[in-house]
Structure formats: structure tokens, C-alpha cells
Structure 1
Amino acid sequence: MIDFRSLEMFQAVVETGSATLAAQKVGVTQPAITKSIANLEAQTGLTLFERGRFGMRPTLEGSIFLSTVRRNLIGLDEIKTQIEAIKRGARGLVRISTLPAYGEETIPKIVSKVLGPHPDVKIALNIDNYEGIVRAVSLGHAEVGVLIGPVVCPPELEPIILGQQPLVAVVPDGHPLSVAEQLTVADLATARLILVSSPHPLRALFDQMFLRAGLTPDVRLEARTQRAAASLAISSPAGIALVERHVARNAVPGSSARIVPLADFPVLDIIALVGRGDRRAALLDLVLSALQTGFAPSIEDTEPQR
């Protein structure tokens, strides 16, 4: 069987005109070159070289065969190049399934930094609910799922903490609570609220917080997404929206609304779900690293809200 290595040696002999020089070029011994050429001539039934004091010169048959070899070596070289690119994580497709809060702005900004230096990397981003994200990764329809913790993780999936997000209130300009440095559950019980609707995991958390405090929230509006809730608080005097801080920061710029920290609400873990395995592809590690960097606290996260 003719293999890539024997064709590579044949081309080296043509280019150098010498078995000795060809051996140096491809990193083998001179006898290995001589044996390879003899085997190639036996396999093809062609006389590929004239041998003499001038060295080794391709025959007419050898020259015709060379054109075919070069075309095929270009293809094989391309295959080798692509294999190396895949190993480095510089080529391929990663499918990400995530919640609207992350898929609408945060993750697109993060992955754009991956795509810039890696033009052969492709990202497919799908927006889904909590159950749909877990199902997509479990069934292999997505390589990464990004959602809010805590996560009920199936045994075939591995949770990876990307970062943390506190909850905040988006308070309309002029609202009595807009001057507060922070808000408690008791403070919020006196205000009209805009919350995400069930079965969003944040809605379950909010309901639980008020229930534990023995208070009944005045929920005037419900929205399917956190961004919609924040937008309602900004565009109308309907009430105060409770959302993750990064959602509020994406929604508030350009408005007079204020972001106010919540004092006694838990900080949320941002979780990536991936399939368990002995070895992750380099491209998947590249994307996970970018997500961890993107969700990491910034300097402004350590400063008080104004």
C-alpha cells in the first residue's frame, strides 16, 4: 500500500536530486530513502528515476507521477493542518444552550472575543429554559449549558462554576426607595414589584424569600425574562424589578433608573454543564475558559452601587 510517508520521500528526492539530501530534508537515513523509492517503483510498476553521476533525476513516468503526488500531498497537508487546528482548539463548532438572561447580551459579548482570534471557530447559541438546557446537554444537542445554580445535575453531566451574580433591584427614578443604599425583603414588601414569571428559577427563589419572612409581595407585573422585567421598571412607574446585576447593568445605561443592592438575598452561582468524560476537546476548554473570564467579577463589581 502506498502511504503518505513514501510519497513525501519521493517528492523530496525530486526536489533535491539526491537520496542523501532528501534524507536530510525529511529526517530519515539515506538507506531508508533508497528502500522507499525501490518499494514505490515496485508498487506502481513505474521507473521513477534515472540514476547516474548527476544524482537522481525523474523519468518521464516519474514527472507525470509527481504531478499527481503533489496534488494529493496538498490535500494531505491540509488534513494534517486541520487536525492540528482541532487539537489546538482553533477550529470547530461549539453549541451553547442558555437562559435568556445570558444569551441575549452577556454570552454573545464573551464569545465574540473567542471568535476574533479564531476565525475557524463557530458558536451556535440557543435560548431555552432550565429543563431544556439540561436536556440538550444530556442528549448531546449542546456541548455547554449555562444556567443559574443550584443545579440538579444528571450523573452524565459535570457542573462547572463560571462565576457568581448578586441580585439587585431596578428602581425607577423618583421612587421613594431609589435613595436607599440597599433594600431588604421587608423594604420590598411595601413596594409594587415586577418579577419574572413561574417556572423561572428566580421566581421560586423570590417567592421563598418572602414566604420565609412571613410577607406577601405586591406583584403588579410578571415578565418571562429578566431583561423584560428590568425594561418595564425603567419605562413605566409600574414598580421595582428584581433581577441579576448583569441584567440590570445591561438594561439601565441611558436611563434615570437606579440599581440598588439587595441586602439579604443569596448570591447566585452561574453554572456551566458539560458532559462527563476522560478528556475534553481543546476547543471546549477554550470556550469554557472564555466563559469563566467573562463571568468573573470585574473591578466595578467590588465598588458600591451609585
Structure 2
Amino acid sequence: MPPKTWHSLPEYQALRAMMECGTTSEAANRLGLSQSAVSRSIASLEARTGRILFERDGRMLRPTNEAAQLNMRLDALFEALEKLEGPPELEQETLQIIAPPTYAHRYLVHHIASFLKANPHFFVGLEVASSDMVIRGILDERFDLGFLGVELPRDGVRLTPFRTSHAVCAMPHGHVLADQQIIHPEDLHGQALIALSPRHARRAELEKVLLACQSEPRVVAEVSTSFAAVDLAREGLGLSIVNPFPVVHYRAQDVVFRPFASQIRYSTYYVTPKRRATTAIARAFLQHLQLRTARDPFSEKA
């Protein structure tokens, strides 16, 4: 049965110091030992390994190929010791977010940037998708956090209200209705309207309000997001009834926003998997949003 092998860190330290310093005296100074202690460690290592590690050349000790090879193999050991004694490494935490374009392209991008600047050891992935895909991504647990502007309850996901708002009318500066402080449904009669696409639940809700007042605006364009509607209004195409959050934060100087007198209400939800706890990094990001989201006259914290 072969003899049991053992290792001596002081011997390895003496070898490495000799390889780097070149002389026994300099190696001893580096290690805080006497020259005789370094010599004994080298002699012990040679005896234990059965290898000649240094050859005398006059007054100098010249390392052999066996010493160089052993020293190279010791790199991993000393790198591990440096990590063990050094400051702890921060494990990079990852947050995967999925959201529709209205929330992703401006609002979330802005706050993700400030969140990562404040927490450089974090990593955030952002997927832009339809509301249905937001639910599916959270159900499949491919994402930690989602955002929605419509209520789509499903088993397996948790919808938590984040922001609430009232409908507003967005119109270009100089519009005939821009001087009114409140826009009523009947005021839209005959006006050019940029409407949300028919697949939007809010489109049917607005049509119901207009029908009750026998108000018939002229639909000149249909779009799928509030930002697109407001941007078309800014171009002078007409007016639009939209959820002011978060578009008002980015278009308040370019477009006139007025309250729309109706019962149309909006909620922004953050979505998390119901089968597991919300991750610490997701909670940190949500707190970041709550603290950094600017106030506006049309929305408020839920």
C-alpha cells in the first residue's frame, strides 16, 4: 500500500518565495523567517517529494525544472488562499422583467438604468411583450416581475396594484378644446379622435361613454399604445383619451393634458409568480420605483 501523502503549506511558501526572490536571504525577509528556517523547509520538501529543487551555482541557488513545474502547479493553491483571505465576492443577483411597450420603453428603461447605477452588482433583463405574454412569462416562471396596465387575473400569478389614474384627454397645443380645464364626452362630438385599437378593452369602455352622451367623434387613426396615441396628437392629428401614467411624465411639455369627465379608471399592476416568494432583488426594484417615480396631477400610488 503506498504511503499516505501529506502537504506542508510552509514548505510551499518557502518554494514560492525562493522562486520569486532568488536568494535565501530575500525569501526569508519576505516570509518573516530566518534563512535557516527557509533552508530547512526547502530541504524537507525535497526529501518528501524525492526531487532536487535547487542546485548550488557558486553562492547562488538555481531552481531546477522540477522546482519550476511544482511552482506552476501551486498557482491554483495560492490563488485560492488569496480569495479565502480577501474580501467576500458579491454574487451577481439577476432580475428578469417583462412588460408591454407603454411601460418598458421609457418608464422602466429609465428606472432600470438608475437602479443598476446604484447597484452595480445587480443584473437586469428586460423583455418587451404583449400583456398576454406578460402573464404567460410569469406563469412559466421565466420572469421574476411583470407589469400590466389591464387586469388579467389568472391562477398562478399575483397582480398587485402599483399605480392608479383617471382618464385624460391629450391634445396638441392650440387645439380648440385646449383652454377647457375639463373635457366632457360631449365635447368630443365631431372632433378628430386617435383611438386605441378595437382589441383594447378600453376602446369599448370609451365607446360606451360616448354612446351614452350621443357623442360621435371622427376616428382618424387607431393605435395600440398610449404613447403612440399621444405622439400622434402632438403631431396635430387630433386628440385621444388615454391612461396618463406614465405617458404624462414624458410628454407634459409637448401635449396638453386635461381630465376627462368619466368613470374610466386605470390601474397599473406589477405581476409576480404566486407559487414562489417575490425575490429580494425584485422587492428592491419595486421600492426603487416607488421612491423614484415622480408625482403628477393625474395618477397616484395604489
Q: Cα gap change, 1:243/1:283 in structure 2, threshold over 3 Å: closer, same or farther?
A: same
Alignment map for 1:81-230 (pairs within 5 Å):
81-83=89-91, 91-149=92-150, 151-213=151-213, 215-230=215-230
Does the CA contact (< 8 Å) of 1:94 and 1:284 recur in 2? yes
Does the CA contact (< 8 Å) of 1:230 and 1:248 recur in 2? no
Does the CA contact (< 8 Å) of 1:227 and 1:248 recur in 2? no
Alignment map for 1:49-88 (pairs within 5 Å):
59-60=41-42, 61=45, 68-75=76-83, 81-83=89-91
Question: How many equivalent residue pairs?
Answer: 245
1:172-225: per-residue Cα shift (whole Å, max 9, x none)? Answer: 233221111011222223422111213234324323433455544431211232
- Cα distance, 1:281 vs structure 2: 2.2
What is the TM-score with the length of structure 2 in the denominator? 0.69
- Cα distance, 1:121 vs structure 2: 1.8
Amino acid across the alignment from 1:69: L
Matched, 1:45 2:43: no
- Cα distance, 1:265 vs structure 2: 3.7
Amino acid across the alignment from 2:147: V
Partner residue in 2 for 1:270: 268
Partner residue in 1 for 2:288: 290
Amino acid across the alignment from 1:158: R
Q: Which runs of 5+ in 2 are unaligned?
A: 12-32, 49-69
Q: Cα gap change, 1:201/1:170 in structure 2, threshold over 3 Å: closer, same or farther?
A: same
Partner residue in 1 for 2:241: 242
Coordinate RMSD, CA, aligned: 3.3
Amino acid across the alignment from 2:280: A
Amino acid across the alignment from 2:238: G
- Cα distance, 1:105 vs structure 2: 1.0
Q: Cα gap change, 1:46/1:272 in structure 2, threshold over 3 Å: closer, same or farther?
A: same
Does the CA contact (< 8 Å) of 1:163 and 1:292 recur in 2? no
Q: Cα gap change, 1:125/1:67 in structure 2, threshold over 3 Å: closer, same or farther?
A: closer
- Cα distance, 1:235 vs structure 2: 1.1
- Cα distance, 1:48 vs structure 2: 5.1
Amino acid across the alignment from 2:239: I
Distance 1:181 1:221 in 2: 25
Distance 2:9 2:230 in 1: 76
Does the CA contact (< 8 Å) of 2:99 and 2:130 recur in 1? yes
Q: Cα gap change, 1:240/1:68 in structure 2, threshold over 3 Å: closer, same or farther?
A: closer
What is the TM-score with the length of structure 1 in the denominator? 0.68
Q: Cα gap change, 1:94/1:43 in structure 2, threshold over 3 Å: closer, same or farther?
A: farther
Amino acid across the alignment from 1:168: V
Amino acid across the alignment from 2:240: A
Q: Cα gap change, 1:176/1:67 in structure 2, threshold over 3 Å: closer, same or farther?
A: closer
Partner residue in 2 for 1:301: 297
Instruction: Tell me the SS of whatever aligns to 1:228.
Output: helix
Q: Cα gap change, 1:131/1:301 in structure 2, threshold over 3 Å: closer, same or farther?
A: same
Partner residue in 2 for 1:25: none
Does the CA contact (< 8 Å) of 1:234 and 1:252 recur in 2? no
Amino acid across the alignment from 2:251: A
- Cα distance, 1:259 vs structure 2: 1.3
- Cα distance, 1:141 vs structure 2: 2.6
Instruction: Tell me the SS of whatever aligns to 2:90.
Output: helix
1:254-298: per-residue Cα shift (whole Å, max 9, x none)? Answer: x4x421111224331110101124533211111122233344x61
- Cα distance, 1:115 vs structure 2: 0.8
Amino acid across the alignment from 1:73: L
Does the CA contact (< 8 Å) of 1:157 and 1:273 recur in 2? yes
Instruction: Tell me the SS of whatever aligns to 2:168.
Output: strand
Share of identical aligned residues, percent?
19
- Cα distance, 1:73 vs structure 2: 3.4
Distance 1:43 1:233 in 2: 83
Partner residue in 1 for 2:14: none
Distance 2:4 2:163 in 1: 61
Partner residue in 1 for 2:51: none
Q: Cα gap change, 1:251/1:302 in structure 2, threshold over 3 Å: closer, same or farther?
A: closer
Amino acid across the alignment from 2:79: R
Q: Cα gap change, 1:204/1:124 in structure 2, threshold over 3 Å: closer, same or farther?
A: farther
Q: Cα gap change, 1:142/1:212 in structure 2, threshold over 3 Å: closer, same or farther?
A: farther
